[in-house]
Amino acid sequence: MTQINTAALQKLDSAHYLHPFTDHTDLAKKGARIITKAQGVHIWDSNDNQILDGMSGLWCVNMGYGQQSLVDAATKQMQTLPFYNSFFNTSVEPAIELATLLSEITPPQFNHVFYSSSGSESNDTILRMVRRYWDMQGEKQRKTIISRKNAYHGSTVAGASLGGMTGMHEQGDLPIPGIVHIEQPYLREAVKDKPELKDLSEDEFGIVAAGWLEEKILEIGKDKVAAFIGEPVQGAGGVIIPPKTYWPEIQRICDKYGILLISDEVICGFGRLGTWFGCETMGTKPDFMTFAKGVTSGYIPLGGAMVSQRVVDVIYKDGDFNHGYTYSGHPVACAVALANIKLMQKLDIVNTVKNDTAPYLKKMFEALNDHPLVADAQTLGMVGGLVLVKDKDKNIGFDDDDNVGMICRGHCFDNGLVMRAVGDRMIIAPPLTMAHDNIDELLSKARKALDATL
Ligand code: PLP
């Protein structure tokens, strides 16, 4: 095996590579961790350290690394037809076959897909479709899309505007007009501004938090609101698992005002919550579902939007919708997605997650609640999050300056585990293919990292 010169690579990396969401001063000082290979649920760095991937890459590698059927599908398609577009009355076989399969596995209101190459592009697509829908319905004034603070819907101008990350809005003069945000359904955070909520049960809080949507609709004017967008579980915001009552109440409010509901399934889709799609866990019936990541297990970029029949009937009434990406329906990406979904079906992975892997993860992860640094460790399906606290008995949290999440994340790496830090929250989204012994490994490494953070 050729020896990898880590220091030389780090120097080049720092000199030439602008990384997404990375502190480049820190990067120049410490050098990037260079990942060189992966197999199953583990990755290796250039110093040959084996690391358990508790984040599935970036919430993507649902079926784990080294799946030969995905590699074979890509190879075969690259040899047969590496690219052709789907513009101007042309189509390609893998895109047609995948559209058909997606129509089968998604909830019944969905019979059509629009392809992109990422979650961000998918949400951009929806923004245009929603406005086009209301325009075609003769309600052009219905333009406003309501989202939530701390939501993540991507990094393009529309994606970052739909998202509710202040750090992103501050850079680039966002959000664009016509997008507003309500508070997220996160009780621990909400009581900081609204102490009167502190005695509510989770279920009561869910109804209150959904009610903020209704308040916002009435404030804007009910004939001006076009849609509501949300992740079933807010992922990048820190794995905020909403109360059970939240989403059904959101659906009721959307129905009451005739507002379109968009479920951003970029993380929660493709089995992550123990159902094929997150909206099935939450009990909603969205008009749009955006997806990416898990559709190909991240082996190749592909994204898309499932569009409900009632929306398709309106938007395409006059024929065309002037929108598309060069790589919409890319044959290689679609071939890999087909192989990935067929593998999921063959292994019955969604039921395995629901009935076995996720309950085991829940039991093991929630046992961290006994750790002196941990408040509120929770999972849903194959995502989990916990809060780090300074004084558990007095319920006193860390300050931002304490940087506790980043410190804990460093200890995770040192112990051979990828866990992500979001402020004072530590989060996981492991591959769905994790076996019980992988989960044991994850939890024992997480505990060591927590001990080191104390
Ligand atoms: N939506 C959600 C819920 C996401 O988590 C992400 C990415 O993490 C996106 C959209 C954007 O996807 P992409 O990075 O593929 O553009």
Which of 289, 322, 346 represents a domain boundary (last residue)?
Answer: 346
120 pLDDT higher than 90? yes
Q: 267, 277, 282: which to mutate for ligand 1, most atoms within 8 A of CB?
A: 267
* CATH (domain of 377): 3.90.1150.10
**Residue 391's domain spans which residues?**
33-66+348-453
Same domain, 147 and 243: yes
Average pLDDT over residues 52-77: 98
* pLDDT score of 2: 62
Average pLDDT over residues 216-229: 98
Query: What does residue 365 show for φ and ψ, rounded to 5 degrees?
Result: -70, -40
* pLDDT score of 324: 97
Buried b (16+ CB within 10 A) or exposed e, 132-162: bbbbbeeeeebbbbbbbbbbbbbbbbbbbbb
Percent of the chain with pLDDT over 70: 100
Q: How far is the CA of 259 from the centre of ligand 1 (A)?
A: 23
Q: Ligand 1 in contact with 124 (CB < 6 A)? A: no
Which of 346, 368, 384 represents a domain boundary (last residue)?
Answer: 346
Q: Identify the H or E element spanning 292.
A: none
Average pLDDT over residues 379-391: 97
Q: How confident is the model at residue 1 (pLDDT cuts 50, 70, 90)?
A: low
Same domain, 264 and 304: yes
92 pLDDT higher than 60? yes
- 369 forms beta bridges with none
Same domain, 355 and 342: no
Average pLDDT over residues 272-297: 98
Q: Ligand 1 in contact with 292 (CB < 6 A)? A: yes
Q: Ligand 1 in contact with 57 (CB < 6 A)? A: no
* pLDDT score of 4: 87
Same domain, 80 and 165: yes
Q: List, for residues 159-209, the tens digit of each pLDDT value.
A: 999 999 999 999 999 999 999 999 999 999 999 999 999 999 999 999 999
Residue of 402, 403, 369 lying closest to 384 (CA atoms) = 369
Determine, yes or no, domain membership for 434.
Answer: yes
* pLDDT score of 305: 98
Mean pLDDT (the chain, rounded): 97
Q: Ligand 1 in contact with 119 (CB < 6 A)? A: yes
Q: Ligand 1 in contact with 120 (CB < 6 A)? A: yes
ipTM exceeding cut-off 0.95 for this assembly? yes
3 pLDDT higher than 80? no
* CATH (domain of 155): 3.40.640.10
Residue 56 near residue 429, CB atoms below 8 Å: yes
8 pLDDT higher than 60? yes
* Nearest atom, ligand 1, residue 268 CA: 3
Which of 293, 315, 346 represents a domain boundary (last residue)?
Answer: 346
Q: Ligand 1 in contact with 238 (CB < 6 A)? A: no
